[in-house]
Amino acid sequence: MVKPPVLPPICITVTGTTPNELLQNAQRALEHSRVVVLRLDWLPDPSQGIRVIRQLLESGPKRPDRAPLLQATCRRQQSGGRFRGTVAEQIKILQEASAAGCALVDIEIESAEKSSRESVESLGDRSLLVLSWHSFEETPYLEFVARLLQRFSADYYKVVSTAKRQSDNCVALEFLRSANNSWHKRWIVFCMGPAGIPSRALALSRGSAFIYAACPGSDGLAPSSSAAPGQIDYEKLSGVYRADKLTPVTAIFGLVGNPVGHSLGAAIHNAAMEAEGVDAVYLPLLSPDLDGFRDAANRYPLSGFSVTIPHKQNILSLLDRLDYDVRMAGAANTVRIRRGKWEAINSDVDGVEKPLRSAFQLSDRETLEDSFRAVVVGTGGAARAAFVALRKLECRKLFVAGRTPARAQRLAKDFDATVLPFSALKHDRFDLMINATPVGMWPKTEECLLTPEQINAHVVFDMVYNPAETTLLKTARKMGRKVISGLDMFLAQAARQFEYWTGLGAPTQLMRKVALRELARFPKSGADG
């Protein structure tokens, strides 16, 4: 039997709880990749999937370099799938799938161990045999898995663990490299779970034979409808992370925090890096804590990263060099790693300063007038960045309003500001009012912290950037006030990060275009409706 040609690197996994649904999802997937994995175990009767395989092959292109390459998977419930039948029934379905023309069949090690070597290896007679091992709990050291799998002869060995922290991805990627070096076999290795996304994006660059993606448009699906936790939409894996173009020397950047899933950072930084010809990728580096993070960063190795909630303060203990803004703000959001040293800036400060210079028509050297009055609403990390920026602009009349008096007093002390109760906002006049709270952020876009009577400033700056125009800004605009969107801040701070990491000017027009496109993907809610 002639085996199929070299496989495209990204396969799309599809599910369906009826044959028709499986067929339609597979047809949609085939518009993007020639290799589609059919999860037959999602069907109440997986043998009905054989008809779907035949239909897909009969209706697809016939040219050998264009014809669909289908993989059949019928994972048993005991191994994390949905199939409730016996191992013998599972093997029979896979044999039928192979006979129907599937280019690959996947069987898990637990089933192989319960079956005879002949019947397992016979699955590779007509199709490429993938022998797989999964852990849905953890990423242990994986050498023992290699020994388990290699007791059987197979075309590919697939090792899929679960990442709880970034070091788990390093374990998987290091194992992948050494497995390919030692055993001259084709290995497929990555981690599941949202923390495992970097391992999926980097797997091909470290020699994984191929990698699995979800069908485009599945990002918003409920977890129950995706085939595996953390599986990345094909368009994102291929178009945003460029997984099939990365190499072992591609510089790795990312966003460290928890959560990191809804950030615009990946879309805009990857687009900027690609446009400027920088061989780099920017990935979500979900990190519930920073234990062992420096070690993981060295092992990837990371060239730098952004930091978000809840690590902007605790990252300081891992840094070698802090600039003035970081020391003033007591927080960092951007780290650059050079010759093993971790250097940090707080680009949120630039993110505030730049739009303010533009709104008040200040050149790089000019500062605010002595009489300028600014009030910041909110007392968290972003408020601190705003105070650092205002101090750099030599604003002398600073005010803070916050719902937790102790935090407001602490800020007032650190930045020589005056604490105001919210009620005082009605009676005072300001040149600038900054919202540094998350109130009004998607999905609660109808919320607004301030009543029209409290919006007593010539310029109103909302740090919330999703949506780009919040209810606060809409109200202020209607009242004839000048407004600054959090999106301007977000883009200014991202541009500063790009420059800090690459030494190049940031493609700001492109970054804005990409950010607006990403924001448009969020379903409209509340006041936007």
Q: Does 213 bind ligand NAP (CB under 6 A)?
A: no
Q: Does 404 bind ligand NAP (CB under 6 A)?
A: yes
Q: Does 403 bind ligand NAP (CB under 6 A)?
A: yes
Among 379, 456, 470, 497, binds ligand NAP (CB under 6 A): 379
Rounded to whole angstroms, the Cα distance separating 269 from 318 reads: 24
Q: Does 454 bind ligand NAP (CB under 6 A)?
A: no
Q: Does 351 bind ligand NAP (CB under 6 A)?
A: yes
Q: Does 463 bind ligand NAP (CB under 6 A)?
A: yes
Rounded to whole angstroms, the Cα distance separating 105 from 130 reads: 6
Which residues on adjacent β-strands are paired with residue 336?
A: 304, 343
> Min. distance of Cβ 9 from ligand NAP in angstroms?
35
Active site residue 312: yes
Q: Which two tokens stand for residue 233?
A: 């939409």
Q: Does 132 bind ligand NAP (CB under 6 A)?
A: no
> Min. distance of Cβ 407 from ligand NAP in angstroms?
5
Size of the site for ligand NAP (CB under 6 A): 26
Candidate ranges 125-133, 252-260, 401-409, 495-503; the one touching ligand NAP (CB under 6 A) = 401-409
Residue of 490, 504, 517, 489 lying closest to 357 (CA atoms): 489
**Which C-beta is closer to ligand NAP: that of 25 or that of 308?**
308
Rounded to whole angstroms, the Cα distance separating 330 from 351 reads: 16
**Which C-beta is closer to ligand NAP: that of 129 or that of 307?**
307
Q: Does 490 bind ligand NAP (CB under 6 A)?
A: yes
Which residue is nearest to ligand NAP, using beta carbons? 380
Q: Does 415 bind ligand NAP (CB under 6 A)?
A: no
Candidate ranges 115-123, 267-275, 291-299, 396-404; the one touching ligand NAP (CB under 6 A) = 396-404
Q: Which two tokens stand for residue 311?
A: 């690590």
Candidate ranges 59-67, 127-135, 228-236, 399-407; the one touching ligand NAP (CB under 6 A) = 399-407
What string of DSSP letters covers 76-123? Answer: BGGGTSSB-S-HHHHHHHHHHHHHTT-SEEEEEHHHHHTS-HHHHHHT
Q: Does 355 bind ligand NAP (CB under 6 A)?
A: no
Rounded to whole angstroms, the Cα distance separating 387 from 436 reads: 11
Q: Does 380 bind ligand NAP (CB under 6 A)?
A: yes
**Which C-beta is closer to ligand NAP: that of 214 or that of 376?**
376
Cis peptide before 44 (omega within 30 of 0): no
246 close to 225: Cβ distance less than 8 angstroms: no
Rounded to whole angstroms, the Cα distance separating 126 from 11 reads: 20
Rounded to whole angstroms, the Cα distance separating 24 from 56 reads: 10
Residue of 478, 490, 479, 493 lying closest to 515 (CA atoms): 490
> Min. distance of Cβ 310 from ligand NAP in angstroms?
8
Candidate ranges 13-21, 183-191, 196-204, 374-382; the one touching ligand NAP (CB under 6 A) = 374-382
Among 211, 449, 511, 515, binds ligand NAP (CB under 6 A): 449
**Which C-beta is closer to ligand NAP: that of 21 or that of 447?**
447
Q: Does 507 bind ligand NAP (CB under 6 A)?
A: no
Residue 482 belongs to what H/E stretch?
Answer: strand 482-484
Rounded to whole angstroms, the Cα distance separating 3 from 163 reads: 34
Report long-range pairs for 40-43 (Cβ below 8 Å, ≥24 apart): 40/72, 40/73, 40/74, 40/83, 40/93, 40/97, 41/73, 41/74, 41/75, 41/76, 41/81, 41/82, 41/83, 42/15, 42/16, 42/17, 42/82, 42/227, 43/16, 43/17, 43/18, 43/19
- SS3 of 243, please? coil
Residue of 86, 100, 76, 72 lying closest to 11 (CA atoms): 72
> Min. distance of Cβ 515 from ligand NAP in angstroms?
10
Report long-range pairs for 219-226 (Cβ below 8 Å, ≥24 apart): 225/15, 226/15
- SS3 of 495, please? helix
**For tokens 């301030």, what's the residue?**
450
> Min. distance of Cβ 490 from ligand NAP in angstroms?
4
**Which C-beta is closer to ligand NAP: that of 163 or that of 417?**
417
Q: Does 465 bind ligand NAP (CB under 6 A)?
A: yes
Q: Does 402 bind ligand NAP (CB under 6 A)?
A: yes
Cβ density class 191-200: b for 16+ within 10 Å, e for less: bbbebbbbbb
Q: Does 262 bind ligand NAP (CB under 6 A)?
A: no
**Which C-beta is closer to ligand NAP: that of 75 or that of 354?**
354
**Is the C-alpha dihedral spanning 143, 147, 148, 153 positive or negative?**
positive
> Min. distance of Cβ 259 from ligand NAP in angstroms?
12
Catalytic site residue from 158, 236, 312, 392: 312
String marking each residue 134-173 x if it binds ligand NAP according to CB under 6 A: ----------------------------------------
Q: Does 383 bind ligand NAP (CB under 6 A)?
A: yes
**Which C-beta is closer to ligand NAP: that of 41 or that of 488?**
488
**Is the C-alpha dihedral spanning 386, 391, 393, 395 positive or negative?**
positive
327 close to 313: Cβ distance less than 8 angstroms: no
> Min. distance of Cβ 508 from ligand NAP in angstroms?
14
String marking each residue 424-443 x if it binds ligand NAP according to CB under 6 A: ------------xxxx-x--
Candidate ranges 20-28, 145-153, 359-367, 486-494; the one touching ligand NAP (CB under 6 A) = 486-494
CA angle (353, 355, 359) in 5-degree steps: 115
Give the residue numbers marked as catalytic: 312
Instruction: Write out the residues near ligand NAP by the rule CB under 6 A.
Output: 309, 348, 351, 378-383, 402-404, 407, 436-439, 441, 449, 463-465, 486, 489-490, 493
